[in-house]
Amino acid sequence: MSRRPKAKIELAAPTGKAAKRIYEQTGRMAQTMHRLLEPKHEDGMFRFTRNAALPLTADLIILDEVSMVDVRLMASFLDAVKPGTRLVLVGDTYQLPSVGPGNVLKDLIESGKVPCQELTVIKRQEPGLIVTSCHRIKDGRDIVTDGMEDPDLFFIERESQETISNVLFELVAKRIPEKYGFDPMKDVQVITPLREKTALSCKSLNERFQQCFNPRVLPHGSRFKPGDKVINRKNHYELGIINGDIGYVRTVEPRDDRIVVDFENPDRKVELSLRDNNIELAYAITCHSYQGSEAPAVVIPIHRCFGTLIMQRNWIYTAVSRAQKVCILVGQRKEVPAIIARNQQQKRFTGLSKFLQEISR
């Protein structure tokens, strides 16, 4: 494209935070796939304005974090790409697949019909134990937590859920901010496998962190307080926010059934119903929810209570790789090799790879 200086280039990603990260790394504006496709309200539902009849005008589109994109969104996206447009898809097949149906990136690569290059040198951070361990996890080997004078990956061994929870609390509230100078609300993220059902789930940890970082009395009829860190769980195209966007509660007004949230990516203040808002506390969130995002410090509980279905190689790889500066795992050390050894991802019978092979004959 350097030979075409006037070419129109679009950068996009599935989530707002991933789009913002593109901007931070390249200096070029990026947007979510949803905003790029220009959703509109029609006949009681939202549809994308951009499609085959009104395609995107870009000469080159670079789409990041493609492993997160499900088959429905990718179908809508490709429908809006005009003939002649160069399309570059960037993603990591070792990460968790999309929450929605399909396994688009993996299928495209396995079809052998799409030109593919694998990048093996990590450029986004200095070589350290985080980078080394991510490479080892991909190869089915255990993480490394020693051998460096100033390590960036640690494991703190604890056995019970209660003691693990206590250490998580101490790390986020005190030890990490004191040692690294990080803001515990904005720079530190706890990533846990389950949303509920254990003492180490998002629900349980969030209740405790809320009391620590935001000890104000809960407004009557509300589970949120001004200042709370929250995550949106539903696409609200009319408001410009999508599933996974993180923000901070500005005001809570139970009498008016109103809550105002400052979302980060994109930066916007959004007013929602207090009773029906699809937002949750986000001091601790699941790995799927944080995919496509990064934080200076990431803290991860490890315990057998999470079971084996979720705790697989791609889960721990995705979780550890969210850390930019420091990653601390807390819990049962003997569980880590077992998690890495489990590489039997839930099968997704999509037929896409075979279809691409057949139509390319």
- Which H, E and C letters describe 252-318, residue by residue? EEHHHCEEEEEECCCCEEEEEECCCCCEEECCEECHHHHCCCCEEEEEEEECHHHCCCCCCHHHHHH
Model pLDDT for residues 113-135, shown as the tens digit of each residue:
999 999 877 766 677 999 999 99
Q: How many whole angstroms separate alpha carbon 293 and alpha carbon 316?
A: 15
* Whether the predicted model's global pTM rises above the 0.75 cut: yes
Domain ranges of the chain: 9-121, 129-220+277-341
User: Residue 299 has which token pair?
Assistant: 């803290």
User: Residue 266 has which token pair?
Assistant: 């994109």
Model pLDDT for residues 192-210, shown as the tens digit of each residue:
999 998 999 999 999 999 9
**Residue 32 bridge partners (DSSP):** 13
C-beta separation of 333 from 157 below 8 A? yes
Phi/psi at 213 (nearest 5 deg)? -85, -20
Domains 9-121 and 129-220+277-341 share a fold: yes
CATH node for 129-220+277-341: 3.40.50.300
Model pLDDT for residues 231-290, shown as the tens digit of each residue:
998 888 788 888 888 999 999 988 888 999 999 866 788 999 888 888 999 999 999 999
Cβ within 8 Å of residue 147, ≥6 positions away: 129
DSSP-based three-state secondary structure for 115: coil
Q: How far is CA 27 from CA 2, 19, 21, 90, in A?
A: 17, 11, 10, 18
Q: Which CATH number fits domain 9-121: 3.40.50.300, 3.40.50.10260, 3.30.750.200, 3.40.50.2300?
A: 3.40.50.300
> Helices H, strands E: what count in the chain?
12, 16
**199-209 burial, b if ≥16 CB within 10 A, otherwise e?**
bbbbbbbbebb
User: Residue 218 has which token pair?
Assistant: 């809960």
Average pLDDT, the chain: 91
Cα–Cα nearest to 349, from 67, 71, 64: 71
